[in-house]
Structures are given as C-alpha cells and as structure tokens.
A = this chain, B = another copy of it.
C-alpha cells in the first residue's frame, strides 16, 4: 500500500490493524470513486475562482480528472487495495500525470468533506435509479391491472376468503404503492440536496472557498452551512436513504409473498415466468419460485443495514473513524434494493393469471358483506343486518360475484379503480 499522507517514520501502523481498518474500503470506494472525481473537479475549479490555484493548473487538473473519470469508467484504472482509499487513488493518479500540480487538489479540503460529498452525490444518483425502477415497476403493475381490470379473484383478509375482488384491484394496489415509494424517494433526494463540500474536517478552513459556486456546479441546490453539522450528517442521510429504499422493498415483499402463495398448487392463481423459477436438485417434479422468494428476502438486507447504522451512531460531535462504518450498510443496502426492484417489471410482465381458477375460488358466501351493506343502507342497523345475513348465508348462492365488482362504486373500489389517476402520479415521479 502506498504510504498515507500522515505517515511518519518509525510510527508505522501494525499491518494486521491496517488491514482491519481498511476493511472493505477498496471495494466500496470503487462505487464512490466516480463521484469523488466529479467533486474533486468542482473543488479544483472553485480553488481557481478564488485564486488559490493558478488558471493553468486548474485546466490541467480538470483535463486530467476527465481522463481519469473516463479511464475509471472504461476499467483502465482500477481502485485497488494498493491505495488507502479512493481519495488517495485520485491524488496518486493525478500526481502520476501532472507531478507537483497533482498534489494541489487537497488544498482546502479534508478527507472528511471529500467522503461526505462523494457519498452525497452517490446517494442522489442511486436514489434516482431506485425511483426510476419503482416507477417502472408501478407501470408494469398498471399494465397488468388494465389488461385484467375486471378479472375476478378472491379478496382475502386474514388469508381467509372475504369478498370478490379483481386482478385490476390487486395489480393496481402495487401501482399505487410504487407511486408512494417513488414519491418518498423524491422527497428524500430533495431533503439531502445540499453540499457539504468546503467544511474541511468539520470546522471550516482559512480560505475564502466559493462553496456556493461549487455546490452549483455539482447541481446541488443549497449548502449544508455549518461545518460541524455537515460532518454530523454522516449516517443521518444514509439512514433516510435506506429508510426510503426500505419502503419500495416493502412493496416488493408484499408482491413476492402474493406470488409465492398464489403459485402454490393449493391456490393456483398465478404461474411465474419460467425464467424466474428453478428446478429441484432432488425432486424432479417441481418448479420453485426462487426469484420471488429472494425478492421477499431482500428487504431484510435493507432493514439489517438500518439497524447497523443505528447502532453505530451513538457518538459525540466531530468526526470519528467509526463513521467509516456507515459506508458498507449504505452501499450494500442500496445495491440490493436497486438490483431487486430492477427485476420487478420483467417479473410482473411475465405473470400468467388463471382466471378460471380464481373465479372458482369466489364462494357465494363472499357476497355476504354486500348483502349486509344493502340491508344497512336500506335502514337496518348494521349490527342487525350483519346478524341477519350471517344466519342466512345460503341465500347468497344466486348472486353473481361479477355483479359484486360492479356494485362497489366508491372511489378506488372495483368499479372505479382510477388507474389513470395512479398512472398520472407515477408519471409525475418518473423524471
């Protein structure tokens, strides 16, 4: 590993301790690296504007950073364990290309605010991706809702057959859930849309940094003004990023549970796409809903990451090395969420519904509520209507469950699903 900046002869860090301290940094910093480069470029330009870097140096550094960004993207440059962290890698690569000038990028900032800004930009990027995946998932659900708007299926409460429902209502519920999730992701992004760059190690720096200009170049709408607070956002922003990701994963979990259940021999409402199932190594008769099961499992990762963060963050003000521990849960949680939600549109598109089986599961007794409401609307007290119907369930045999769908006219119910309204909301978070 290259010598760290603060290296002093004769005071070497123990190698095993060094390895423990590095942890997964190299692997994780690879994800942050592109954002670190972008932020470094903006910092360099900002130093130029206040005269702390000569214009010529700024130009050379910006060009070199652009090259490095391209090389990192193409795989020509790789963040490896030979560097202490991503920041050191960038400085080393710059110094390779530009000599002395390469070392100037560190002026006026600390690794503390460097990791803050790289994490911020990374979060915003990933939250954007997750929002887009949530919108696409919602749109897939909406397509299926429209195709099967009035297809009968049982509505369950307590997993007991309750009232007739429709595939339109069921699939529509995921469309609206993903819309809510996309909205929260958007709100979360707006909440963290602030630049911490320029706070150095949490106490500011004796240079007239153009923090506002740098924020503007990075596309951030405001500053995290107070340096100690900017420092203390570490972990806090990560928590809300994960809390938002948890929401969309929760929608995925409900969907996965439904699919696993409805794909059993006993329910038999749904067939999953072949590409989402696997065989058994010992039982040749089976196809297993592995993908749905793993999607159902995935929210646990996000939840575990939140718990990890929460336990980490019992600390006084100021930077502590503990905060490095905020990186793994953030990156792990967001990666799992993006991968999981990214598979959902394809999965939903590939579902086959067994309309006959679902209709067959709509017992006449499921029309009891309709009848009780009719009686109650006609003036019978609901409690009495309820008893009256409970005592004469047999009389419901003649009612058509499809009629029940048509009778549920309250907004959002089976006769008025308002899919366009949900679709418009999804569109509004697509951006």
Q: State which of A66-74, A119-127, A168-176 sits at the interface with chain B.
A: A168-176
A318: chain B residues at CB < 8 Å are 155-159, 162
Q: How far is the CA of A165 from the CA of B201 in the complex (A)?
A: 11
At the interface, yes or no: A77 with Cβ under 8 Å from chain B? no
Given B4, B372, B411, which contacts A278 in the complex, CB threshold below 8 Å? B4
A265: chain B residues at CB < 8 Å are 160-161, 361, 363
Q: State which of A31-39, A129-137, A412-420 sits at the interface with chain B.
A: A412-420
A235: chain B residues at CB < 8 Å are 250
Is the pair A284, B387 in contact by a Cβ cutoff of 8 Å? yes
A315: chain B residues at CB < 8 Å are 254, 257, 314
Is the pair A253, B314 in contact by a Cβ cutoff of 8 Å? yes
Nearest Cβ on chain B to A415's Cβ, whole angstroms: 8
**Copies held by the complex:** 4
At the interface, yes or no: A86 with Cβ under 8 Å from chain B? no
Is the pair B411, A211 in contact by a Cβ cutoff of 8 Å? yes
Given contacts A253-B314, A254-B317, A285-B393, 11 further A-B contacts (CB under 8 A): A14-B346, A106-B281, A106-B376, A157-B288, A159-B320, A161-B265, A170-B228, A206-B373, A257-B314, A284-B372, A297-B324
Is the pair A20, B343 in contact by a Cβ cutoff of 8 Å? yes
Q: How far is the CA of A159 from the CA of B243 in the complex (A)?
A: 29
Q: List A residues 157-191 near B (Cβ within 8 Å).
A: 157-165, 169-170, 172-177, 180, 183-184, 187-188, 190-191
Most-contacted residue by chain B among A8, A163, A284 (CB, 10 A)? A284
A410: chain B residues at CB < 8 Å are 108, 198-199, 204-209, 211
Q: How far is the CA of A150 from the CA of B173 in the complex (A)?
A: 43
Is the pair A411, B258 in contact by a Cβ cutoff of 8 Å? no
Q: List A residues 290-324 near B (Cβ within 8 Å).
A: 290-291, 293-294, 296-301, 303-322, 324
At the interface, yes or no: A13 with Cβ under 8 Å from chain B? yes
At the interface, yes or no: A148 with Cβ under 8 Å from chain B? no
Is the pair A261, B316 in contact by a Cβ cutoff of 8 Å? yes
Main secondary structure of the interface of A (DSSP, over half): helix
Is the pair B250, A313 in contact by a Cβ cutoff of 8 Å? yes
A209: chain B residues at CB < 8 Å are 410-411
Given contacts A159-B264, A226-B417, A311-B303, contact A390 B276 (CB under 8 A): no
At the interface, yes or no: A246 with Cβ under 8 Å from chain B? yes
A8: chain B residues at CB < 8 Å are 279, 390
Q: How far is the CA of A426 from the CA of B216 in the complex (A)?
A: 23
Given contacts A203-B162, A288-B157, A310-B246, contact A294 B227 (CB under 8 A): no
A293: chain B residues at CB < 8 Å are 158, 320-322
CB-nearest residue of chain B relative to A160? B286
At the interface, yes or no: A397 with Cβ under 8 Å from chain B? no
Is the pair B308, A311 in contact by a Cβ cutoff of 8 Å? no
Q: How far is the CA of A108 from the CA of B369 in the complex (A)?
A: 10
A348: chain B residues at CB < 8 Å are none
Is the pair A206, B6 in contact by a Cβ cutoff of 8 Å? no
A146: chain B residues at CB < 8 Å are none
Is the pair A282, B110 in contact by a Cβ cutoff of 8 Å? yes
At the interface, yes or no: A79 with Cβ under 8 Å from chain B? no
At the interface, yes or no: A277 with Cβ under 8 Å from chain B? yes
Nearest Cβ on chain B to A219's Cβ, whole angstroms: 18
